[in-house]
């Protein structure tokens, strides 16, 4: 049974991540929002500290690299009924705190990219050891394949001990800065989603060509790249998971990534929601607006009532994110719960950020506060790693026990 308190062993991690948000991220947040594509050099020291904490075992995975799934946990759970608070939960808790400081800077932390989470989720032990300490981006989206990952057109053709990749990838977070790119490609287009696999490609690979960097609405501290893969040769050993096509299954190993990364994106949204609520509450208090939790909501001002309603939505998103991560730590299937968490947190984040700007009026809209920036940052959290609509479709399929062909 999940305990709703933060596990005692994670309290130091949460405090350290909170300090990073307040003392490092917030002071430079506006700087790198305005200086789009400029690398935040201040993050090198932060990344080194995170690596040190993770290596010492003090954090059980302080960032995306902690999003893993241990088969041994499932066996232990079955044998003695014990529960585990592990790396997935600690990663979610730490990311909530750092994104309370800045989402774009969190995404720019070296060696803590979504590609690292993909590797942690599905790589074998030899691959995890080989890629340890390296920064990985993740390339899924294509010009003709956004929310429907099964429509991926990038191909991977086996040629001896290598695969040859050809195609295009867009919206690759940290694509320019990362050392590795986890590329999703199909082994056989005729088989649809069943033939989708993920490959680790060296950023220096001559077949992986940077086309452009995107100019974006939000998370401007994080670079977003577009790539072209032209006869890109990748060693067969760099295919993540099982190389065999399981026609009776779904996406296979590649899709396991989402079960671990969607709670992380939910955590990002929860962190930004918390930041928006805290600042709006502070600014409104200065104007004499303070919600009374003991009084009926109908007797309070519109602003006070709105704050109370948004706090309730925040709590729901927070608890859903914790549940999805906790299930992953305990070897429980969590596809539905991961999508629930991502859907609720993403929508809540957008709604709360915009409402806080509205409630704070000219102050919320101006660059004198970070509320307007957070409103811009929020939208991506409802889009990447699967849009709001895709998450709700996944949840509906799980609840109704229907396949993707039965419910589209």
Q: How far is CA 294 from CA 286, 287, 290, 297, in A?
A: 21, 21, 12, 9
- Pairwise CA distance, residues 193 & 252, whole Å: 9
- CA dist., res. 121 & res. 352, Å (int): 31
Distance (Å, whole) CA 99 – CA 399: 31
Catalytic hit among 372, 385, 401, 406: 385
For the question of residue 385 being annotated catalytic, the response is yes
Q: Which of 392, 135, 378 is nearest to 269 (CA)?
A: 378
Rg (CA), the chain: 21
Q: What are the backbone angles phi and psi of residue 84, rounded to the nearest 5°?
A: -130, 135
Count CA atoms closer than 13 A to 82's CA, side-chain side.
9
Cα-Cα end-to-end distance for the chain: 34
CA distance 332 to 74: 7
Sign of the Cα pseudo-torsion (350, 267, 63, 29, in order)? positive
Strand locations in 140-219, DSSP E? 155-159, 162-173, 180-186, 196-202, 208-213
**CA-to-CA dists, residue 105 to 119, 181, 223, 347, 382, angstroms:** 21, 19, 10, 21, 18
CB proximity list for 193: less than 8 A, separation 6 or greater? 149, 150, 250, 251, 404
At what angle are helices 335-359 and 388-400 packed, to 10 degrees?
140
The gap from C-alpha 252 to its chain's centroid, in whole angstroms, comes to 20
Provide CB contacts within 8 A for 333, sequence distance 6+.
Answer: 259, 327
d(CA 25, CA 118): 25
Helix, strand or coil, per DSSP, at residue 132: coil
The answer to whether 73 and 84 have CB atoms below 8 angstroms apart is: yes
Catalytic positions are 385
């Amino acid at each position: 049974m999940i305990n709703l308190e933060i596990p005692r062993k994670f309290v130091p991690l949460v405090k350290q991540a909170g300090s990073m948000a307040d003392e490092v991220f917030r002071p430079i947040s506006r700087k790198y929002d305005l200086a789009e594509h400029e690398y935040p050099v201040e993050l090198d020291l932060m990344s080194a500290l995170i690596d040190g904490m993770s290596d010492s075992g003090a954090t059980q995975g302080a960032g995306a690299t902690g999003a893993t799934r241990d088969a041994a946990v499932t066996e232990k759970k079955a044998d003695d009924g014990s529960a585990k608070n592990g790396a997935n939960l600690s990663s979610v808790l730490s990311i909530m705190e750092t994104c309370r400081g800045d989402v774009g800077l969190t995404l720019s932390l070296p060696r803590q990219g979504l590609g690292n989470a993909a590797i942690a989720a599905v790589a074998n032990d030899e691959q995890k050891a080989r890629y340890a300490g390296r920064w990985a981006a993740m390339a899924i989206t294509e010009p003709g394949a956004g929310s429907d990952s099964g429509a991926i057109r990038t191909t991977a053709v086996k040629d001896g001990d290598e695969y040859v990749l050809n195609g295009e990838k867009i919206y690759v977070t940290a694509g320019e800065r990362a050392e590795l790119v986890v590329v999703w490609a199909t082994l056989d287009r005729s088989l649809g989603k069943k033939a989708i696999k993920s490959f680790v490609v060296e950023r220096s690979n001559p077949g992986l060509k940077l086309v452009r960097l995107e100019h974006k609405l939000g998370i401007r501290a994080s670079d977003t790249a577009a790539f072209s893969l032209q006869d890109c040769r990748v060693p067969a050993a760099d295919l993540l998971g099982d190389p065999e096509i399981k026609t009776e299954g779904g996406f296979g190993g590649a899709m396991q990534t989402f079960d671990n990364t969607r709670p992380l994106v939910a955590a990002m949204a929860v962190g930004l929601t918390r930041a928006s609520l805290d600042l709006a509450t502070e600014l409104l208090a200065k104007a004499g607006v303070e919600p009374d939790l003991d009084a009926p909501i109908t007797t309070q001002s519109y602003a006070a009532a709105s704050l109370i309603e948004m706090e309730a939505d925040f709590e729901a998103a927070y608890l859903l994110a914790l549940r999805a991560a906790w299930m992953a730590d305990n070897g429980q299937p969590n596809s539905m719960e991961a999508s629930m968490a991502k859907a609720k947190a993403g929508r809540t984040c957008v709604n709360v950020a915009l409402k806080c700007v509205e409630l704070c009026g000219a102050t919320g809209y101006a660059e004198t506060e970070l509320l307007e920036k957070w409103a811009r940052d929020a939208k991506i959290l409802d889009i990447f790693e699967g849009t709001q609509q895709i998450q709700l479709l996944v949840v509906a399929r799980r609840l109704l026990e229907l396949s993707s062909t039965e419910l589209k």
